[in-house]
């Protein structure tokens, strides 16, 4: 008898990425020759069934990018292909892409149901009716099927527009700030419904938003835009955990940006020597998330609480340490009063930034 442990074969799980649906390569659009480009050298892909958000501040080129993909603008340079077919110069109606306009674009003389059925004209009547009612149910508007657009709130109109676009199950849906007319509670509820609807329909989507929380909550991947360019693209977790630049680190969530001297995998900071998420060398800035910092009351500590904001589920503290003020997010209790001396510690690695 031997104690030989049988060799266990560890299965290698290869997660196959779904095939690319949309490929955008080197897209540039300049509205005026003497001004900066609205969209500059933008490249990204959307996989089958994937939901990609374009996230960035107002004027960064999100809508223009979306309109280029939809065919409502012509790029100066670059190429757009859908399932391998070059669609760069096709008119919108030949692209097979659904678009939810920011201003709804509903037909005022048609009822809600008729609006949703509009794209289903080629379907047998009963089937179209059933499908349209299903879509209205999904956007919580089943009871308002016989109203006309002017009898609805802005948010309700937006959901009719969404139902109308999704009814035809286009391979790709473009949504420009689709939740901007909903109140905060409705927005949270609706965005998960919309995600579920898209997934159920098997439609890919590009969603434009300036709301980072929305992008984080909803997207499979996020493209962060600034000044007409994509600055970073990745899953919400990647973007949040490993922002590449100060802009991304500050635009998505909150960050303490600290000077540091890096040597390979670690860096010297006001919090001592910290592990880096990626190697760096020399003088760099590092991003430390407020929830990565813990604080303990300690008379010998190096920090002093200079402000706090109770938020119920957590508490923000502003702590003066090492000649600067850092933001810390801690549990709501125990409350540490302003003026208390505290010891600060950073858990997890921090991110060196470029630019
Ligand atoms: P976002 O949707 O991110 O707020 P836009 O794509 O709408 O940004 O705009 C990007 C830039 O392009 C802005 O400077 C805007 O003023 C300009 N722009 C957008 N559309 C037009 C247009 N039709 N004509 C001229 N300039 C435009
Ligand atoms: Mg816009």
**Average confidence (pLDDT) over 290-319:** 97
Written as one string, the DSSP assignment of 323-340 is: TEEEEEEE-S-SPPPTT-
For ligand 1, what atom is nearest to the CA of residue 56? 3
* pLDDT confidence bin for 3, thresholds 50/70/90: low
> Mean pLDDT score of the chain, rounded to an integer?
92
* pLDDT confidence bin for 1, thresholds 50/70/90: very low
The strand pairing partners of 266, in sequence order, are 263, 275
- Token pair of 109, please? 């003389």
Q: Where are the alpha helices (DSSP H) in 57-208?
A: 62-70, 112-117, 125-138, 154-167, 184-201
For ligand 1, what atom is nearest to the CA of residue 35? 14
**Average confidence (pLDDT) over 279-284:** 96
Nearest residue by C-alpha to atom 21 in ligand 1: 31
Q: What confidence score (pLDDT) does residue 9 get?
A: 57
User: Ligand 1 pocket check: which of 59, 72, 74, 223 to mutate, most ligand atoms within 8 Å of Cβ?
Assistant: 59
Q: What confidence score (pLDDT) does residue 197 get?
A: 79
Ligand 1 centroid, distance to 232 Cα (angstroms): 20
d(CA 62, CA 255): 24
**CB within 5 A of ion ligand 2: which residues?**
63
Q: Which ligand is nearest to the CA of 103?
A: 2
Q: How far is CA 204 from CA 103, 126, 194, 350, in A?
A: 22, 27, 12, 33
Ligand 1 centroid, distance to 61 Cα (angstroms): 6
Ligand 2 centroid, distance to 30 Cα (angstroms): 16
Q: Residue 282: pLDDT above 80?
A: yes
Q: How far is CA 246 from CA 250, 255, 258, 271, in A?
A: 6, 9, 10, 19
* pLDDT confidence bin for 247, thresholds 50/70/90: very high
Q: What confidence score (pLDDT) does residue 312 get?
A: 95
- Token pair of 76, please? 């100066």
Q: Which ligand is nearest to the CA of 228?
A: 1
Give residue-wise pLDDT tens across range 160-213.
988 899 898 899 999 999 888 778 887 887 788 788 878 887 889 999 999 999
Percent residues over pLDDT 90 in the chain: 77
Ligand 1 centroid, distance to 64 Cα (angstroms): 6
Give residue-wise pLDDT tens across range 309-330.
999 999 999 999 999 999 999 9
Ligand 1 centroid, distance to 74 Cα (angstroms): 14
Ligand 2 centroid, distance to 334 Cα (angstroms): 43
Ligand 1 shell residues, CB under 6 Å: 31, 38, 56, 58-64
Q: What confidence score (pLDDT) does residue 199 get?
A: 87
What is the rounded end-to-end Cα distance, in angstroms, of the chain?
Answer: 64
Q: What confidence score (pLDDT) does residue 162 get?
A: 84
**Average confidence (pLDDT) over 138-155:** 89
Q: Residue 105: pLDDT above 70?
A: yes
Give residue-wise pLDDT tens across range 116-135.
999 898 899 999 999 999 98
């Amino acid at each position: 008898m031997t104690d030989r442990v049988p060799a266990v074969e560890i299965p290698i799980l290869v997660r196959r990425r779904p095939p690319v649906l949309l490929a955008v390569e080197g897209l540039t659009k300049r509205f005026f020759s003497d001004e900066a480009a609205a969209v500059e050298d933008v490249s990204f892909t959307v996989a089958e069934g994937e939901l990609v958000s374009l996230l960035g501040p107002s004027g960064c080129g999100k809508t223009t990018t979306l309109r280029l993909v939809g065919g409502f603008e012509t790029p100066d340079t670059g190429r757009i292909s859908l399932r391998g077919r070059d669609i760069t110069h096709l008119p919108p109606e030949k692209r097979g892409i659904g678009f939810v306009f920011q201003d709804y674009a509903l037909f005022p003389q048609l009822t809600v149901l008729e609006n949703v059925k509009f794209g289903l004209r080629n379907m047998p009547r009963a089937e179209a009716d059933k499908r349209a009612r299903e879509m209205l149910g999904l956007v919580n508007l089943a009871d308002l099927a016989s109203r006309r657009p002017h009898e609805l709130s802005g948010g309700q109109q937006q959901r009719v527009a969404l139902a109308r676009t999704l009814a035809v199950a286009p391979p790709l849906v473009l949504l420009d700030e689709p939740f901007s007319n909903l109140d905060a509670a409705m927005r949270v509820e609706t965005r998960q419904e919309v995600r579920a609807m898209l997934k159920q329909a098997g439609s890919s989507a590009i969603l434009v938003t300036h709301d980072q929380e929305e992008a984080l909550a909803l997207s499979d991947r996020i493209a962060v835009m600034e000044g007409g360019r994509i600055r970073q693209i990745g899953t919400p977790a990647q973007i949040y955990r490993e922002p590449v630049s100060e802009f991304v680190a500050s635009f998505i969530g909150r960050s303490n940006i600290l000077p540091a001297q890096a040597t390979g995998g670690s860096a010297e900071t006001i919090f001592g020597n910290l592990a880096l998420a990626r190697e760096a060398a020399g003088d760099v800035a590092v991003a430390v998330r407020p929830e990565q910092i813990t604080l303990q009351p300690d008379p010998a500590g190096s920090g002093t609480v200079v402000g706090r904001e109770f938020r119920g589920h957590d508490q923000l503290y502003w702590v003066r340490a090492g000649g600067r003020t850092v933001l810390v997010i801690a549990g709501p209790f125990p409350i540490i009063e302003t003026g208390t001396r505290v010891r600060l510690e950073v858990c997890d690695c921090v991110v060196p930034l470029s630019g």
